[in-house]
Amino acid sequence: MTGHSTSTVQQFELFIDGESVPAASGETIPIIDSATEEAFAEVAAGGADDIDRAVTAAEASTTEWLGMSPPERGRVLNRAAALIRENKDSLAELLTRENGKPISQARTEIEVGARYFEYYAGATDKIQGETIPLGREYVDFTIREPLGVTGHIVPWNFPVSLFARSVAPSLAAGNAVVVKSAEQTPLTSVELGKLLDEAGVPDGTINVVPGYGADAGAALTTHAGVNAIAFTGSVPTGKEVAATAARQLKHVHIEAGGKNPNVVFPDADLDDAIEGTLISIFTRNAGQVCSAGDRLLVHEDIHEEFLDRLVDAVEDLTMGPGLEDPDVGALVSEEQYEKVRSYVEVGKQELGEPVVDGVPDDADETTGYFVGPTIFDGANNDLRIAREEIFGPVLAVIPFSTEEEALEIANDSDYGLSAGIFTNDLERAHRFARDVVAGQVYVNEWFAGGVETPFGGHRDSGFGREKGLEALDQFTTTKNVCLSIGE
């Protein structure tokens, strides 16, 4: 599939106005396989000129996209879902190589990407307004209109599903789209752009411009032709993007980081809680997940037993190149590898040796950006490893004694993205769901929910909601029409 190769390095271009094109500057970005540290591909490095070209094409295309009937647009998005599924194996391999994640997780992510297009395909003919009763002399109704051109800034941790998560509802609502993929993982985005084109999205309605954040990302955020920005990424960038959008009164929503509490009570099914904890922080994308369960709050009565069982389970996990489908793959990049390792050092300074240390003694001599599951026990919520987002397989274990204390610790954070509780006490689960500051609450299963369930944050985790029908609100605006019809 994918790109074309000169020697062994595959070449990828921008996708603008239905065509693969080089960057105006002629520059490229090397894409590194994080398991081998080799550059296996190159992508065109888009900049302000390329963004301008993409936005101009997008503006020109909206008549054609909106000229299609809603069911026709839905059929195009359904074809996109089918094409993504047909190309699952090759897309998954590309995703594993650009990101490092295990191939089975890459396949799952491609399926999730397809599901987003399928889900929002079904919404194209259901984006309805309302009638408002003003009395016999008036007819008043609302129309939910698309915004025009929407800009999508995507991070590297789930390059396929996060592309689909915001692009599918925006297209379903009738917008034209310009995507700025992450510089580490742009290849699958370019391929998704081509598949959408093949599915029948008009030329110019889908554009993918890889590039660096400071170049292509900033140019997209400031472009006067872009009416809305959907941003997913880190808190500092999110704040900058939100401030820039605010200065231009653009629609914007921000999906940023988290430091999420995973609370385990003695009455929980501990097998489920162990399984949930493993996936929450270690085995899903090596913990590089905004909604990871980074803080394990475990009741003091089961603290020792739970930790022993968790350590046993962690010792059974495999780590290796994503293409060999281990439980834990390589981290995405050298930068992320250094960042995670530096947090392991912070943890050692704060708490001494971890119960499980994922940084091998010979880490500096081995190839690939591998850090295994790391567990620091006896943490408290004031430590840096309990407050700052590490974005890797590093867990801070914080014991607690009462439900009130657990809630207080859970909510004592700059973030408010996800929270999870393991308990068989129904009332307690509901109290926790009611009182915890989080956009989504998982009960007895970490990451419970799907493309249908709204997702987003509070506080530094951002604002606005993606996923579910609520995402359509981010990509539409309301027009009220009021007719005076006389007595």
Q: CB neighbours of 434 closer than 8 A, spacing ≥ 6?
A: none
Count of residues that bind ligand NAD according to CB under 6 A: 30
CB hemisphere CA count around 34 (13 angstroms): 29
Is 31 a residue that touches ligand NAD (CB under 6 A)? no
Extract the runs of DSSP E, i.e. beta strands, from 134-175. Answer: 138-146, 149-153
Question: CB-wise, 78 or 285, nearer to ligand NAD?
Answer: 285
Q: By rule CB under 6 A, what string of x and - marks binding of each residue 452-481 to ligand NAD? A: -----x----x-------------------
Indicate which single residue of 180, 250, 259, 465 sits in contact with ligand NAD (rule: CB under 6 A): 180
Indicate which single residue of 197, 255, 460, 473 sits in contact with ligand NAD (rule: CB under 6 A): 255
Is 175 a residue that touches ligand NAD (CB under 6 A)? no
Indicate which single residue of 116, 156, 343, 369 sits in contact with ligand NAD (rule: CB under 6 A): 156
- Contact window for ligand NAD (CB under 6 A) among 30-38, 104-112, 175-183, 366-374: 175-183
CB 286 within 8 Å of CB 320: no
Known catalytic membership, residue 255: yes
Residue nearest ligand NAD by beta-carbon distance: 213
Crossing angle of helices 303-315 and 270-278, in 10° steps, is: 50
Distance CA 244, CA 218 (A): 9
Is 375 a residue that touches ligand NAD (CB under 6 A)? no
Is 389 a residue that touches ligand NAD (CB under 6 A)? yes
The catalytic residue among 13, 255, 389, 403 is: 255
Question: CB-wise, 298 or 332, nearer to ligand NAD?
Answer: 332
* Structure token digits, residue 290: 């905004």
Indicate which single residue of 100, 159, 217, 358 sits in contact with ligand NAD (rule: CB under 6 A): 217
Where does residue 119 rank: exposed (0-12), middle (13-18), buried (19+ CB within 10 A)?
buried
- Contact window for ligand NAD (CB under 6 A) among 25-33, 77-85, 140-148, 231-239: 231-239
Question: CB-wise, 183 or 377, nearer to ligand NAD?
Answer: 183
Is 237 a residue that touches ligand NAD (CB under 6 A)? yes
Indicate which single residue of 68, 91, 179, 218 sits in contact with ligand NAD (rule: CB under 6 A): 218
Q: Sheet containing 462-463: which strands, arranged edge to edge?
A: 19-21, 14-16, 206-208, 176-180, 149-153, 228-232, 251-255, 462-463
Least distance to ligand NAD, CB of residue 234, Å = 3
Is 27 a residue that touches ligand NAD (CB under 6 A)? no
Least distance to ligand NAD, CB of residue 335, Å = 9
Known catalytic membership, residue 305: no
Is 182 a residue that touches ligand NAD (CB under 6 A)? yes
| Count of CB atoms situated within 10 Å of the CB of 247 | 10
311: left (phi over 0), alpha (psi -120 to 50) or beta: alpha
In Å, how far from its chain's centre is CA 103?
Answer: 18
Residue (of 457, 306, 327, 440) closest to 393 by Cα position: 327
Is 331 a residue that touches ligand NAD (CB under 6 A)? no
Distances (CA, A) of 352 to 19, 110, 346, 348, 383: 55, 40, 9, 4, 12
Q: CB neighbours of 469 closer than 8 A, spacing ≥ 6?
A: 123
Is 246 a residue that touches ligand NAD (CB under 6 A)? no
Beta bridge pairs of residue 252 = 229
Is 109 a residue that touches ligand NAD (CB under 6 A)? no
Is 159 a residue that touches ligand NAD (CB under 6 A)? no
Which alpha helices (H) appear in 364-425, and where do they start and end?
384-387, 403-411
Is 152 a residue that touches ligand NAD (CB under 6 A)? no
- Contact window for ligand NAD (CB under 6 A) among 20-28, 132-140, 190-198, 209-217: 209-217
Residue 31, helix vs strand vs coil: strand
Indicate which single residue of 3, 151, 233, 329 sits in contact with ligand NAD (rule: CB under 6 A): 233
The catalytic residue among 290, 389, 403, 466 is: 290
* Structure token digits, residue 462: 């951002």
Classify strands 149-153 and 138-146 as parallel, antiparallel or unpaired.
unpaired
Q: Encode burial over 376-387: b for 16+ CB neighbours within 10 A, e otherwise.
A: bbebebebebbb
Residue (of 341, 345, 443, 434) closest to 393 by Cα position: 341
Indicate which single residue of 241, 330, 421, 429 sits in contact with ligand NAD (rule: CB under 6 A): 241
Indicate which single residue of 153, 178, 359, 395 sits in contact with ligand NAD (rule: CB under 6 A): 153
Indicate which single residue of 256, 268, 359, 437 sits in contact with ligand NAD (rule: CB under 6 A): 256
- Contact window for ligand NAD (CB under 6 A) among 151-159, 195-203, 369-377, 442-450: 151-159
Question: CB-wise, 238 or 358, nearer to ligand NAD?
Answer: 238
Distance CA 58, CA 226 (A): 9
Question: CB-wise, 155 or 420, nearer to ligand NAD?
Answer: 155
Is 114 a residue that touches ligand NAD (CB under 6 A)? no
In Å, how far from its chain's centre is CA 209?
Answer: 18
Judged by the rule CB under 6 A, the positions of this chain that interact with ligand NAD are 153-157, 162, 180, 182-183, 213-214, 217-218, 221, 232-234, 237, 240-241, 255-258, 290, 389, 391, 417, 457, 462
Active site residues: 255, 290
